[in-house]
Amino acid sequence: MRAILRGAISNPLANMLAVLLLEIMFLLAFFSAQKDSLTFDELAHIPAGYSYLTQQDYRINPEHPPLAKDIAAAPLLFLNLNFPSQSQNWIQDAGAPPWWVQFDLGTEFLYRSGNNPREIIFFSRLPMILLTLLLGTFLFFWTKKLLGNAAALAALTLFAFSPSFLAHGRLVTTDVASALGIFVAIYYWIEFLKQPTKTKIAKAGAALAFALLLKFSAILLLPFFAVVTIVYALLHPESFGKIRTAGKYVALSILVGIVALIFIIPFYQLHMLNYPAERQLRDTIADLQPGGINTYEHAVIWMADPPAGEFVLRPFAQFARGVLMAIQRGQFGNTVFLQGEITAGGWWQYFPLIYLFKVPLAFHVLFLLGLAGLVLSIKKKLYQGFSKGITGWLKDNFSIFTFGLFIAIYLAVAMAGNLNIGVRHLLPTFPFLYMLALYGVKEFASHRSTPRFKRNIAIGLILLFAAYIGSSLSAFPYYISYYNELAGGIDNGYKVAVDSNYDWGQDFYRLLAFAEANHIQKLHLDYFGGEDPSYWLGDTYEKLDPFNPPSSGWIAVSVNQLMNGTALGVDGFDQPTGYYNWLARYTPVARAGTSIFIYRLGAE
């Protein structure tokens, strides 16, 4: 341990320890995933990916790019599955489908087509775990390149035991995939700026396409890269002047964007071989209609059914449609619960609070220590004068500056939007937070050279990492419901926020086990998640009506539904509230996992 803290660790040993950390992460993710039932978004993403690969038709779930869903669905090709291609939920010949059709199709595919739903869920989650490990591997090697072996192992430890990455890195969603794509794209963009050769331009373009094919939130990279590129050009003027250098980089950046499109357009075309133009046009109009159609949306609608350019404009129209849908979703928001209140809009403080409560306390302390070190590193340069000092620090630490700038921009956009769903939307910032914190810690540790100071720093870091790992391990297997001690921990975190922060439907299998163990003949259930209760429970299941509840018997309520039904409506929220206040008279007799409360009414 002392050797690691000093940074005196060989490359072979560092690589061996990195493999060990990734193996531990795999085991934690794999075995916790076995205990979790289908979550809400997986019900749409799994059949969407399978339809892309088997039908070459991109009518389902266009608000997310196809690549992550393709990867998840790839193992399903080796199973003998039935796809409901004759279902109205797929044919959709009665007009433009509403947004929930993708979920109805998911229910048909998993539960109504003779398939084994647990088998489908198991095999589609495996590639997502591998994508998560790929992100960890990339994080290790980039941190190693910048900060050395010790910091690389520390960064990988923070990643491997992160409750949020363990929660969402094993699910068929786009959040961890987005973090991977953005992380890789930023790395190759910095490499391109340092050495804008043909090879680096091609790699930067491919990496940007990779990010955009994983999640549309990567569109934020475009303005971010513009700012980063101008700053880099101004910091590194050539003999013919800063303006000329900046212009050169702008031109080369446009070339990188063209390379990205060269990858994106054919990839989309492969997913649209059997997607009729008239259906794409109809669906595009329906998806962009809410809020009125602006100039950009008119252009996308025209490209969806062009008079010429079938193999260029239609794929680009589908891509642009998804981007606009993602932007539209961020503007419109969703119903969200936060600390006893509910609204159809959003709160600017939502993401700062969720980050504060969903990240282990030990990392918050580590990050504060890192910020102190960051300030000290800048202060060292100011002896040259403020302007020269800042310029010198930026030149020496351009990657670190890039990390901080990305975190600031991404968080600002998240806070300005209304899509308050969960900490998973902040995951693209986490690897950069780890690296930024460890850079600062390294600078702080080098601030003084006395043996006592070094020893105290070493002891403090050991305690912080032990607390971080312990907090993560204590959450197994309930990583989705993880909250730190400030929020009351896993048992009480639901009082802060629910949805994918706490209850995404992951405890349904645990409810089944409880019902079987207690020989329950009738269960009134209000469930939030991806599973189909009637498939598993049959005649035992009855949908719970909170406005007309039974006077006796077993009832179970997902805590997401419970919190929404007891919250105070604010900011003009016009939906019914308080419809679960009557449950306050009862005490749950049990919980299925963390997120489904079980009651027995009328029992003595």
User: 271-296: per-residue pLDDT in tens?
Assistant: 999 999 999 999 999 999 887 888 88
What amino acid is encoded at 232 in this protein?
Y
**Cβ distance 557 to 588 under 8 Å?**
no
Q: Is residue 101 predicted with pLDDT exceeding 80?
A: yes
What amino acid is encoded at 7 in this protein?
G
Round to whole Å and give the CA distance between 276 and 278: 6
pLDDT of residue 603: 63
Round to whole Å and give the CA distance between 420 and 214: 20
- Is the pTM higher than 0.85? yes
For 49, 342, 444, 489, the CA distances from 70, given in Å and listed in that order, are 5, 35, 44, 36
pLDDT of residue 483: 98
pLDDT of residue 5: 46
Round to whole Å and give the CA distance between 253 and 196: 9
pLDDT (average), residues 173-202: 97
Query: For residue 336, what are the β-bridge partners?
Result: 343
* Angle, CA 140 vertex, CA 438 and CA 464 arms, to 5°: 40
Beta-carbon neighbour count of residue 300 at 10 Å? 24
Query: What is the tens place of the pLDDT at every residue in 214-251?
Result: 999 999 999 999 999 999 998 987 644 566 677 888 89
pLDDT tier, 7 (very low <50, low <70, confident <90, very high otherwise): low
Q: Beta strand pairing status for 341-343 and 336-338?
A: antiparallel
**Cβ distance 153 to 17 under 8 Å?**
yes
Query: For residue 596, what are the β-bridge partners?
Result: 558, 592
For residues 325, 207, 158, 25, the Cα torsion angle rounded to the nearest 10 degrees is: 90
Round to whole Å and give the CA distance between 517 and 542: 19
Round to whole Å and give the CA distance between 131 and 177: 7
Beta-carbon neighbour count of residue 31 at 10 Å? 12
Percentage of residues of the chain with pLDDT beyond 90: 82
Residue 232 tokens read as 């880099």
Round to whole Å and give the CA distance between 267 and 264: 5
